[in-house]
Copies of this chain bind each other. A is one copy, B any other.
Amino acid sequence: MNNLERNNALVARARRVIPGGMYGHMSVQRMLPAGYPQFFDRAEGARLWDVDGNEYIDFMCAFGPMILGYRHPGVEAAVAQQRSKGDTMTGPSALVVELAERFVDQISHADWAMFAKNGTDATTLCCTLARGATGKRKLLVAKGAYHGAAPWCTPSPKGVIEEDRSHLVHFEYNDVASLTAAAQSAYGDLAGIVVSAFKHDAFVDQALPTREFARAARRISDETGAALILDEVRAGFRLSLDTSWSSLGVEPDLSAWSKAIANGYALAAVLGNDRFRDAATKVYATGSFWMQATPMAAALATISALNELDAPKRLEALGQRLRTGLHSVAQRHGISLRQTGPAAMPMMLFDDDAKLARGNAFCTGMLELGIYMHPWHNMFLSTAHTEGDIDRAIACADEVLANI
């Protein structure tokens, strides 16, 4: 096991002053097997160093925000330039207009943009806009999907009351009959259908949306006047430079973005079409830091770089290289490894591994060799990952799987 002496000292201090030592998706104690560091010292490109100086090739990319590599020179330069002028001010800078124009140019369905801080801000605002525009209450949400940590969507029931979810109706992702039944049960009161870019639930195989499912969601929205809300928070810009559903020929009414749009700077966006513009002028949406200028400078630089690099194509190629390599290695060792969902967002689960014994053993083994992977959550690639990084991960997997 890596030396985690400084990490463990910090963990002990953290237990005194932070509930459980850490919370949410950042809690290593609750999320990951022993051996994972809780605290990090620095990051550069695709590399991450923990507080004990252990170096990792990072396949989590900060759980998504990092898409161009940590401390990307172009993004950092844009941020530094804006910071020399102003960041959080008594009003927005001109960048909010430039960035809204950029999103409207980039994303087919978007006629307008609004900005916030958290992915949860964006998904919640989409729901409020759907209800505001339609005057209806029911929201269809896929079972097991993660749309944020507000009371209406948080995965833990602690502190949530029945009324927080009384107008949610659940359906199975990619199941047209289930979606249709949910819509029928909301008959006459349907405000919106909330769908993730793909099925990226934790602990289970991932699934890309079928064309039939996407079209059914669009058709039901059209027939009922409900909003089709696409949650792009996790996948946005990793699968496409338009929405992740553009390849299916299906456009949402509203879409929620965050994570990768500013390469690690705190920003979220809601994009919408003109049918929802009037409601968007009437909903009171705001936050003290929502007009912060530097994340908008970062977003403009990030979106430019993603276009220049044709990032989704690059991430797909890296992901396929990883998937093919891991498949070969696992096969050679006679191990059944399921790699599901889009290659750019790798998800690996072992067969007959309900308690994650194999997944945990594999990931802790990889960690000791300097590869930071996750046993039950989708991973992320960045344009800073090289073919050499991928090949290194495959070689390490070969070594680890030999001993599992």
**Residues of A near any B CB (own CB < 8 A):** 10, 13-14, 16-20, 22-26, 28, 37-44, 48, 50-51, 58, 60-66, 70-71, 76, 83, 85-94, 96-97, 100-101, 103-104, 111-114, 117-121, 124, 127-133, 137, 149-151, 154-156, 158-161, 163-164, 166-167, 233, 258-259, 264-266, 272, 277-292, 372
Chain B residues with Cβ below 8 Å from A290 are 24, 26, 118
Chain B residues with Cβ below 8 Å from A155 are 284
This chain's copy number in the assembly: 2
CB distance from A377 to the nearest CB of B (A): 11
Q: Is the CB of B166 within 8 A of A280?
A: no
Q: Is the CB of A132 within 8 A of B113?
A: no
Chain B residues with Cβ below 8 Å from A127 are 159
Q: Is the CB of B121 within 8 A of A118?
A: yes
Q: Is the CB of A23 within 8 A of B285?
A: yes
Pick from B16, B124, B288: contact of A258, CB under 8 Å: B288
Pick from B10, B87, B113, B287: contact of A120, CB under 8 Å: B287
Extra contacts besides A76-B83, A120-B287 (17): CB < 8 Å: A10-B97, A17-B100, A17-B103, A17-B113, A25-B286, A26-B286, A39-B94, A39-B96, A41-B85, A51-B94, A62-B89, A64-B288, A88-B264, A117-B117, A149-B287, A158-B282, A266-B266
Q: Is the CB of B283 within 8 A of A159?
A: yes
User: A48 CA to B188 CA in the complex, in Å?
Assistant: 51
Q: Is the CB of B167 within 8 A of A284?
A: no
Q: Is the CB of A277 within 8 A of B19?
A: yes
Smallest Cβ-Cβ distance to A118: which chain B residue: B287
CB distance from A334 to the nearest CB of B (A): 31
Pick from B17, B26, B264, B278: contact of A104, CB under 8 Å: B17
User: A370 CA to B26 CA in the complex, in Å?
Assistant: 46
Q: Is the CB of A22 within 8 A of B92?
A: yes
User: A51 CA to B94 CA in the complex, in Å?
Assistant: 8
Q: Is the CB of B88 within 8 A of A62?
A: yes
Chain B residues with Cβ below 8 Å from A284 are 23-24, 149, 154-156, 158
